[in-house]
Amino acid sequence: MATFGMLGHQGHGKTTLAAALGAHGAPFAVSDPVDWTQAAGWAGAILVVNVADGPMPGTRNDVMTATRQGVRGLVVFLNQLDLVEESEIVDLVEMEVRELCQKHGPGEVAVVRGSALRAAAGDRSAIGAPAVAQLIGAVAALGG
């Protein structure tokens, strides 16, 4: 089973997303908390960004460190969509994360929007379980 690193700022939902992935039968394991000594063995990484906060200073550091450690692929999960009502804010956060990955990371990345908390609770709306299923598909495309 392939292992993926789970990157992101504290409080952005990494642990909740890991639980949601497990509940939905993800065919890969996640390293949460991050163990950078194991990064060379990861098949890729999932970067979790809370859309209410956007990328934090540590987000850039995580992307840069993953790149330096040889992490080959990255998928972004824009989390906590249920807390933001304005789609323009979500669009801006996505644009900012894409630019960060272009400048400091692997370049083009897949971005999935959702709510790990809703997915973990079994919510069937677009930001719940279907978003986690989409994330699983994007990770699988990296080789997970």
Question: Is the model more confident about 123 or about 32?
Answer: 123
Residue 143 has pLDDT above 80, yes or no: no
Phi first, then psi, for residue 99 (nearest 5°) are -65, -40
Does the pLDDT value for residue 32 go beyond 80?
no
How many CB atoms neighbour CB 69 within 10 A? 16
Query: pLDDT-based confidence at 111, cuts 50/70/90?
Result: very high
At residue 127, φ and ψ (nearest 5 deg) are -90, 0
Query: Would you say residue 90 has pLDDT above 80?
Result: yes
Q: Which residue has the higher pLDDT, 44 or 72?
A: 44
Q: Can you tell me the distance from the alpha carbon of 18 to that of 12, in angstroms, rounded to the nearest whole number? A: 12
Q: Specify the CATH number for the domain of residue 124.
A: 3.40.50.300
The answer to whether residues 39 and 5 touch, using CB atoms and an 8 Å cutoff, is yes
Share above pLDDT 70 across residues of the chain, in percent, rounded to a whole number: 99
Query: Residue 33 pLDDT > 80, yes or no?
Result: no
For residue 122, pLDDT beyond 90: yes
Residue 123 belongs to what domain range? 3-142
What does the pLDDT average to over 1-13? 91
Indicate the pLDDT class of residue 136, thresholds 50, 70 and 90: very high
Which pLDDT score, from 0 to 100, does residue 144 have?
61
